[in-house]
């Protein structure tokens, strides 16, 4: 049994953090489903930007450009078409797992990260346009994004909460999700609305690489992961969650994101084998997935009690790392980087549109 299959058998879902039209046309996504135990897919503006740069979308842009006045509308038309195809490929997984797995994700514009009302409107519009039951709408877990998550979940729309970096961020996202589910229970509606909470990992270690000793290098992300997983398991066992489960609700699953190793001296599967845990998802880019399938190992699964994460986090505090402040800074930087990637994407579409039409 391969490492990817072993991890799947031990209760962790593996998702692909990539999508291009070329991959779909060549059957790459289906191959990953069939041979690598991949059961879902995530996307973001940077992924689409690189895909459009490759030329895979030239014909589609030329054909669709006259139908859409704005570059943003044109992008969403292209992205939705791709994600509809991907959602259809994952539909057998979605049906076999009764909606636990088999999801794909589409992000609202990063420009809306601090605009609650606009995020709600965009999420509802995109979900309606995509018309796929196994599509998650990605909403950032910023202060303004949290009430949007509650409202969107209350509307019955599945949500991928993104831009989370810590146990506290995760807890806030879980609360926002639970509040939306509670509203559905209060209204007599089906509370089984799919959701994942995406916690970004590798950026922690990249942020402190020049600040900590060799003994602490590439350890902060895993320590935060242990702390977050402990919070997740406590949430699963909480009275509120179990009470809503009795009403038909489902747990919002924890997803490890940003799992490509940034340090060339570290293992290329650091954030895969290091974050192996049941009841979770790990979404990874092609290179990380291929590496784990080729030479990855599956050791002990993450303990539900956090193990020695408090001791590890104290060591970073002693080294001058304020984890709480860094989490806030990483979320702010992440939102800015998504905006930058979004602008690059729209700029590329505009340039392609002009050259092709």
* Residues with catalytic roles: 138
**DSSP states of 99-123:** TSS--EEEEPPGGGTT-HHHHHHHH
Give dist(CA 285, CA 197) in Å, integer: 18
- Measured between alpha carbons, how far is residue 349 from residues 48, 70, 137, 327, 356 in Å? 10, 10, 22, 33, 10
φ, ψ at 144 (rounded to 5°): -80, -25
Rounded to the nearest angstrom, the gap between the alpha carbon of residue 335 and the centroid of all alpha carbons in its chain is: 14
Give dist(CA 167, CA 225) in Å, integer: 8
Give dist(CA 3, CA 268) in Å, integer: 14
349 close to 45: Cβ distance less than 8 angstroms: no
């Amino acid at each position: 049994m391969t490492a990817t299959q072993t991890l799947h058998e031990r209760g962790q879902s593996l998702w692909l953090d990539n999508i291009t039209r070329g991959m779909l046309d060549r059957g790459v996504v289906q191959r990953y489903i069939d041979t690598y135990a991949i059961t879902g897919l995530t996307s973001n503006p940077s992924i689409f930007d690189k895909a459009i740069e490759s030329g895979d979308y030239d014909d589609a842009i030329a054909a669709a450009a006259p139908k859409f006045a704005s570059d943003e509308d044109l992008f969403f038309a292209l992205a939705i078409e791709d994600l509809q195809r991907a959602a259809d490929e994952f539909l057998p997984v979605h049906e076999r797992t009764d909606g636990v797995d088999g999801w794909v994700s589409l992000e609202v514009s990063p420009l809306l990260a601090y605009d609650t009302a606009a995020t709600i409107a965009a999420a509802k519009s995109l979900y309606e346009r995509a018309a796929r039951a196994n599509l998650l709408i990605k909403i950032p877990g910023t202060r303004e994004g949290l009430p949007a998550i509650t409202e969107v979940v209350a509307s019955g729309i599945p949500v991928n909460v993104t831009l989370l970096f810590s146990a506290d961020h995760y807890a806030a996202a879980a609360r926002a999700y639970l509040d939306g589910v509670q509203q559905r229970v209060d209204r007599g509606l089906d509370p089984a609305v799919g959701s994942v909470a995406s916690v970004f990992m590798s950026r922690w270690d990249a942020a402190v690489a020049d600040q900590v000793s060799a003994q602490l290098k590439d350890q902060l992300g895993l320590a935060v992961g242990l702390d977050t997983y402990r919070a997740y398991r406590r949430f699963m066992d909480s009275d509120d969650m179990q009470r809503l489960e009795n009403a038909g609700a489902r747990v919002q699953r924890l997803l490890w994101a940003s799992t490509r190793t940034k340090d060339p001296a570290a293992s290329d599967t650091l954030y895969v084998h290091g974050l192996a845990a049941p009841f979770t998802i790990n979404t990874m880019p092609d290179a990380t997935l291929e590496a784990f399938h080729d030479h990855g190992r599956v050791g002990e699964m993450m303990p539900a009690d956090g193990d020695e994460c408090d001791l590890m986090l104290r060591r970073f505090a002693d080294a001058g790392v304020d984890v709480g402040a860094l989490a806030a800074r990483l979320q702010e930087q992440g939102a800015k980087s998504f905006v930058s990637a979004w602008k690059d994407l729209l700029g590329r579409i505009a340039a392609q549109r002009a050259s092709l039409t």
